[in-house]
Structure 1
């Protein structure tokens, strides 16, 4: 297995140096800057990542399961 493959397997990513030359990098930076400058944030509201609802759901399931087990022991 090549060194890059081993690094990818170990780390989940690899850094490959000098894939693009300076001119290509500047061109990409300019294109990305234009996209950002032209973006109307009112049309693209920010997204917020949250696991609160999912965590609450799992918490409720765990608590209900504990209550069910407690009732079963008391009634046994």
Structure 2
């Protein structure tokens, strides 16, 4: 993504909004313009997090461990 182009588009309202979880510079500096734009949502690498997704993560982890212990792994690398 071209961060400068995105900032211009947001300032000029050429796009309605943007949601970002990864930035050119990390951590995002305190005085970065994205932090003050009303049409930008910024999160620190937690944009994926939800109760449902964590349920999937933990359920899959338990299934993976049980299958590995039984000698029949279910998710393996090719």
Q: Between Structure 1 and Structure 2, whose CA radius of gyration is higher?
A: 1
Fold shared per TM-score above 0.5: no
Q: Give the alignment's TM-score, normalised by structure 1.
A: 0.34
- Tell me which protein shows more strand as a share of its residues: 2
- Tell me which protein shows more helix as a share of its residues: 1
